[in-house]
Amino acid sequence: MKKCILFACLLAFIGCSTPEPQRAEKPAFKGMELYSWKPAGKDWHFSLLPGTNRIKSPMEKTDSKDTVVGIANLKARLARMAKGEQVFWRSLSGELPPEMVEDLKDFCTKHDITLTTI
């Protein structure tokens, strides 16, 4: 019986001690650009790209190698960013749902990331 209790406690400890994802050491020089769009009948798509002083082409913004699908996958990417990172968010599909914006702003605040909608 003692072994069962000890084993259960060990499993609970292991489950609670999942490490945070490895974060970048320092913020991007010119911040990050977040683009979002919602294809008809599908979940939200997001692209996170390094900030630059030039306008990116539509292809650059939506290239599949930089795209994540869904809020959970975006949060996983954001969680790996450096503390103090600045993210500038622009929708390619019109107005963003206010509840999604609030959810992501809260998430970023908790992870010491500044999220600005443009």
For the chain, the structural domain boundaries read 26-117
User: H helices within 1-118, ranges in order?
Assistant: 2-16, 58-62, 71-79, 98-110
- Write down the pTM of the prediction: 0.79
pLDDT confidence of residue 3 = 54
For the domain made up of 26-117, give the CATH fold. Nucleotidyltransferase; domain 5 (3.30.420)
Picking from 118, 97, 84, the residue whose alpha carbon sits closest to that of residue 108 is 84
Q: What is the pLDDT along the chain (118 residues), one digit of tens a residue?
A: 555 455 554 455 555 555 566 998 999 999 999 999 999 999 999 999 999 989 999 889 998 788 999 999 999 999 999 999 999 999 998 889 999 999 999 999 999 999 999 9
87's CB contacts (< 8 A; 6+ apart) are 31, 32, 33, 34, 48, 78, 81, 108, 113, 114, 115, 116
pLDDT confidence of residue 64 = 77
